[in-house]
Amino acid sequence: MKTKSKSTKSQTRHSGRNPQELKNFKLGENNTQYTTTYTPDLLEAFDNKNPNQIAWTTFVCTEFTSLCPKTSQPDFAKIFINYVADKKMVESKSLKLYLFSFRNHGDFHEDCIQTICNDLVKLMKPKFIEVIGEFTPRGGIAIFPYASASNSDKEFQELRKHRMMNYSPGKYSCDLSKVY
């Protein structure tokens, strides 16, 4: 009978996951390749160990950059992603690399936020998700687009409707003093 090595037992005990389960993720690689063209294939998901629970996960990206499709000038934003997972969750390093891939992507603010929402829905099929962009002013105008999606469960459709109808800039994002 084969036994696990001491380090494998220790890794499983501390992480609650089998090390083989995560071996193909970008996380932990010595050399990170940053793609500067929009690449949704960078996103990776892992199994949610608690799919029957309802729990929020929030990601805050304070350094999102894309390009204006008309002028090619850079646009800067903070991106907030709030979601309730179902069977899959997004791996955070893959999300960082994915968001970085917008660096030379020319699209309007609203389209970037909707694209991020759509790509995460395709990857994870969450119970609920919302993506908020807080773009810094250019030409004196700040733009705060919002996109959301839910599964077919009545409670999450109602949550989506409620949050959409009550959305206002800053309502579902956070004070960045909580981040820094």
Catalytic residues, which ones? 68, 75
Query: In this structure, what DSSP letter does residue 43 have?
Result: -
Distance, CA of 102 to CA of 98 (rounded, Å): 7
Query: In this structure, what DSSP letter does residue 170 have?
Result: T
CA atoms within a 13 Å half-sphere pointing along the CA-CB vector of 42? 22
State residue 31 phi and psi, 5-degree precision.
Answer: -125, 115
Specify whether the CB–CB gap between 18 and 49 falls below 8 A.
Answer: no
CA dihedral 149, 120, 79, 71 (to 10 degrees): -100
